[in-house]
Amino acid sequence: MTNPLILEPQKPADACVIWLHGLGADRYDFMPVAEALQEVLLSTRFVMPQAPTRAVTINGGYAMPSWYDIKAMSPARAIDESQLEDSAAEVIRLIKEQQAKGINLSRIILAGFSQGGAVVLHTAYIKWQEALGGVMALSTYAPTFADSTELNASQQRTPALCLHGVYDPVVVPAMGRTAFEYLKQWGVSATWQEYSMEHAVLPEEIQDIATWLIERLR
């Protein structure tokens, strides 16, 4: 994979947010958001990996940055699960890399928008077996949660912030809400917040993200 974009903080890093972009975007997509958040998170490093470019079936086979192929949209997303696993493995590699640099797991946050959010939800609550500092799931869904019945005690301790637009035509709010309900059912401290937007990010949402991150990383 292409090397991730890494934004070092003003002070020596003692926390890290690993942030995955959405389908068709790139590692620079959330750079302005990360730079704004670093104004208040003075010792938090942001790591933004780049999805590989590959054919996406639902887009007529057109090649674009994608964490996994989406083969059909309904009744539920039909996806290439092996590619999802590869993307989760890349996130786990980045987690371990930050650990090796001295960042405690309790201060590593996974974040993702849309398809990137699906990857981080799968990574944090299905693949990774230890507690993390948290997960931020933006305008996303959880394609593999229905295949799981429970989390271990460490996974349960990873809090989640689930954010969604009420007018989202790409990932309809019900898909995001279902992921949130699974987390609550499994005993995760999860928060659900809706915004008057479509498949996007709002300044109000960024402020809520900043507040949530400050509570966990201060």
- Write out the catalytic residue numbers: 114, 168, 199
Q: What is the CA radius of gyration of the chain?
A: 16
Cα separation of the two ends of the chain: 32
Give the containing element (helix H, strand E) for 109.
strand 108-113
Phi-psi group of 60: left, alpha or beta (phi > 0 → left; psi -120 to 50 → alpha; rest → beta): left
d(CA 45, CA 103): 10
d(CA 218, CA 214): 5
7, 11, 12, 16: CA torsion to nearest 10? -50
* Pairing assessment for the beta strands 70-72 and 78-79 based on DSSP bridges: antiparallel
